[in-house]
Amino acid sequence: MPGNPWIISTLWLAQYKIATALTLEQLQGVIGILMWVVRHARPSGVLPEQLHPFGERPISVCPLSWSHAEVIITVMDYLDKYHQLRRKEQ
């Protein structure tokens, strides 16, 4: 059994990739993680805590405000790093 994917821990991975990115190309890899999160939002936009490992349907608390908070933090980190790297490359 592979365990249940968590929105939060997936976003922590994105935050790590943002923090360690040295180029815009490396930063681009974070977009796929953010899109994964968006794909797993309910039609109303709310995010669950966990997803079933097979079929990836929500199986926990939904909405989970912590998941939403991590999305905001991750996007803000991404934008800050994007602008930092963009200035560096000019």
Q: What is the mean pLDDT of residues 61-78?
A: 93
Provide, rounded to the nearest whole percent, the portion of the chain with pLDDT above 90: 73
Between the CA of residue 10 and those of 3, 28, 41, 90, what are the distances in Å?
Answer: 13, 16, 14, 31
Q: How confident is the model at residue 61 (pLDDT cuts 50, 70, 90)?
A: confident
Convert the pLDDT of each residue in 6-19 to its tens digit.
Answer: 999 999 999 999 99
Cα separation, 85 vs 64, in Å, equals 32
Q: What is the mean pLDDT of residues 45-73?
A: 89
Between the CA of residue 77 and those of 5, 48, 65, 82, what are the distances in Å?
Answer: 22, 22, 18, 8
pLDDT of res. 4: 83
